[in-house]
Amino acid sequence: MSREDYEMVIGLEVHSELSTKTKIFCSCPTEFGGEPNTHCCPVCMAMPGTLPVLNEKVVEYAIKAGLATNCKIADVSKNDRKNYFYPDLPKAYQISQYDMPLCEHGYVEIEVNGEKKKIGLTRIHIEEDAGKLNHDDYGRGSLVDLNRAGVPLIEIVSEPDLRSTEEVDLYLKKLKSILEYIEVSDCKMQEGSFRADVNVSVRKKGQKEFGTRTEMKNMNSFRSIIRAIEYEAERQIEVLEDGGKIDQETLRWDDVSGKTFPMRDKEDAKDYRYFPEPDLVTIKISEEMIQNIKNSLPEMPEKRRERYVKEFNLPEYDAKVLTQEKALSDMFEQANNICKNPKTVSNMIMTDIIGYLNFEEIEAKEIPFTAQQLGNLVLLIDKGTISSSIAKKVLQEMFENPREPQKIIEEKGWIQISDEGAIKEVVLKILEANPQSIADFKAGKDRALGFLVGQAMKETRGKANPQMLNKMFLEELKK
Amino acid sequence: MKNYIINALVKLWKRGSRLMIISKDEILHIANLADLNIKDDEIDEYAKNLQDILNFVNILNKVDTENVEESIGVVNNTNVFRKDEIKVFEDKDALLQNAPDQESNMFKIPKVI
Ligand SMILES: [Zn+2]
């Protein structure tokens, strides 16, 4: 038996912070950062005698997420207490949902090697986030900051439908994209607002029963998730091949060593003694409420993709790439509103902007310049003020020190030379210095023209209008 | 509690059956979950106390609920919500006032690994 005889079975529990203004059970701000314990009040600090009151936006956002992922929305739902001790959980229980979640039985569609596959969603429920433990300077104690305690989360539980790390990657990207499109979560992974618990097992291909699974908690980068799954599946196969058996346990992924380690607390801790939260009342969801939320759903990626092909004549592939992330898609549309040149905007986003993002490993929503500035940049090309190769340099500058493209080209002296007299001067100078090229051209070597144009561009540091150069060289050469 | 309820409960109790017997292991498990240290010679005492509570509550299992609508919470209210509007809690000093120890405006606790 070898690696190829096995398949992975993966299920994910994604936690995504909702982008409400206030916490789930009190009116404290959810804003990230801030001095420790300044976004807190007696409720989220669990002072005795305080009572939670549910934020209506949390319910609305969770239902919105449910509708966007084809879930059935419950007509009656409730909150439950999940009991455990940890210093970042001031009440010693987390208010979550147990047997009556807001949304159930949904799916997310991904495209694997050109084929559509539905990944089932078991449920989506609402719950509160925990605080953060810091370590003091001398290593003598831990310090508790409760700014994040009570920030609303949705937990999206998938069925064990994922069969490879490629599918995991596609599923997570799709889910993130959906949540961003419907604007219920920022999904900022570095801030921990989109993270996942990963369940992995392996089984021989063709086998019906699932193998024993292990769980890795709180992973907050796509890359770690993929690496951890690869490692863990490999480890399980090795254990099985050696005649061993897999323990159902929670593991800790260590990014530095690239290995998983058993967590110290064992399954005993899994007994959370859930019971209905007595401090909150039942949630009833009317058909009317669901309909209102449904009507508020924006155009989703698939629809935008179709529209881009029809309305802007973009190739199917380009439309797909552009709509994968809401931030890029919005940028495309807003920039195009300014310059009315979808093809050029699309090309700049697909090659230069995405290239930069990938290279610098930053997310699209962190792009420092505005869509208006991108639109203005394309206008500058269209008006012949700059060449497209200069535009690439301007874009680079916009990433590093964002300001109006017009200002950048003025400061850098990158304005294209389109003045006939000035161009002619350069052309004559280059011809005089390259008699061999003239001879080559006359002998039928067309490549000589390209060389001459290249020399002229070099001379003008890329500022000469290339079409005009071409034309004028031809005129002179044919004299 | 009103007298008639108590009388009804006592009547039911007399008819009631013993639901489950609490084992020593159960006591130790619950103590562990509740983060309580109990001594060996306390186990029987706790088992008896918990058994009494369970038996008492078990009376309710005998109530005829044939025509009673199922409820989720103890109150009949539904959909008590709050608007998503920020109200900053101003009395920040009060929040850490009872902390046994603090540093950099955070609760200082024994080291957690
Ligand atoms: Zn609060």
Backbone angles phi, psi at A420, to 5 degrees: -55, -45
In 3D space, the residue among A247, A146, A148, A156 whose CA is nearest the CA of residue A197 turns out to be: A156
User: CA A116 to CA A113: how far, in whole Å?
Assistant: 8
> Does some domain include residue B107?
no
**Which residue of A83, A100, A136, A270 to mutate against B (max B Cβ within 10 Å)?**
A136
Residues of A in contact with B57 (CB under 8 A): none
Overall number of domains in chain B: 1
User: CA A401 to CA A453: how far, in whole Å?
Assistant: 31
pLDDT at A373: 94
CA A370 from chain center: how many Å?
18
> Does some domain include residue B12?
yes
Domains, chain A, ordered by start: 10-289 (no CATH), 299-412 (no CATH), 420-477 (1.10.10.410)
> Does some domain include residue B69?
no
Q: Which two tokens stand for residue A102?
A: 């807001």
pLDDT at B1: 47
Residues of A in contact with B79 (CB under 8 A): 281-284
Nearest to B77 among A76, A144, A281 (CB): A281
pLDDT at B2: 55
Determine the distance in angstroms separating the CA of B91 from the nearest CA of chain A, rounded to an integer.
Answer: 8
Window 91-150 of A: residues touching B by CB (8 A cutoff) are 100, 133-136, 139-145
Residues less than 5 Å from ion ligand 1, measured at CB = A 26, 28, 41, 43-44
> Does some domain include residue B34?
yes
Q: How far is the CA of A125 from the centre of ligand 1 (A)?
A: 21
Q: Could you please report the per-residue DSSP string of A172-236?
A: HHHHHHHHHHTTS----TTTTSEEEEEEEEEEETT--S----EEEEEE--HHHHHHHHHHHHHHH
Residue A292 contacts by C-beta under 8 Å, 6 or more apart in sequence?
none
Residues of B in contact with A28 (CB under 8 A): 86-89
Element (H, E) at A118: strand A115-128
Q: Which two tokens stand for residue A31?
A: 């804003």
Question: What does the pLDDT profile of chain A (479 residues) look like in tens digits?
Answer: 577 889 999 999 999 999 999 999 999 999 988 899 999 999 999 999 999 999 999 999 999 999 999 999 999 999 999 999 999 999 999 999 999 999 999 999 999 988 999 999 999 999 999 999 988 767 788 999 999 999 999 999 999 999 999 999 999 999 999 999 999 998 888 788 899 999 999 999 988 899 999 999 888 888 899 999 999 999 999 999 988 899 888 898 888 888 888 876 555 557 899 999 999 999 999 999 999 999 999 988 888 999 999 999 999 999 999 998 899 999 999 999 999 999 999 999 999 999 999 898 888 888 999 999 999 999 988 887 888 888 998 999 999 999 999 898 888 878 777 777 888 888 888 888 888 888 888 888 888 888 998 888 888 877 788 888 888 888 888 87
pTM: 0.81
> Does some domain include residue B44?
yes
> Does some domain include residue B106?
no
pLDDT at A350: 93
What's the whole-number mean pLDDT along residues B39-56? 90
pLDDT at A201: 95
- Measured between alpha carbons, how far is residue A78 from residues A25, A73, A99, A100, A125 in Å? 14, 13, 8, 6, 10
Q: Where are the alpha helices (DSSP H) in A88-193?
A: 165-181
Residue type, A11: G
> Does some domain include residue B101?
no
Interface of B with A (CB under 8 A): 29, 32-33, 35, 72-75, 77-89, 92, 95-96, 101, 103-112
Element (H, E) at A6: strand A6-17
pLDDT at A445: 85
Question: Sorting pLDDT into bands at 50, 70 and 90, what band is B14?
Answer: low
Nearest to A27 among B82, B106, B107 (CB): B82
Determine the distance in angstroms separating the CA of B80 from the nearest CA of chain A, rounded to an integer.
Answer: 7
Domain boundaries, position B45: 2-61
C-beta neighbour count of B16 within 10 angstroms: 17
User: CA A452 to CA A437: how far, in whole Å?
Assistant: 7
- Contact (CB, 8 A) for A110 and A81: no
Nearest to A136 among B79, B81, B103 (CB): B103
User: CA B66 to CA B56: how far, in whole Å?
Assistant: 21
- By CB atoms closer than 10 A (0-12, 13-18, 19+), residue A303 is exposed
> Does some domain include residue B97?
no
Q: Which two tokens stand for residue A139?
A: 């290593």
Judged by CB atoms closer than 8 Å, whether chains meet at A22 and B35 is answered as no
User: CA B88 to CA A85: how far, in whole Å?
Assistant: 28
In 3D space, the residue among A216, A213, A222 whose CA is nearest the CA of residue A254 turns out to be: A216
Nearest to B75 among A28, A144, A281 (CB): A281
Q: Closest residue of B to A147, CA-based? A: B106
Interface check A37 vs B, CB under 8 A: yes
Residues of A in contact with B84 (CB under 8 A): 20-22, 55-57
User: CA B28 to CA B1: how far, in whole Å?
Assistant: 33
pLDDT at A315: 93
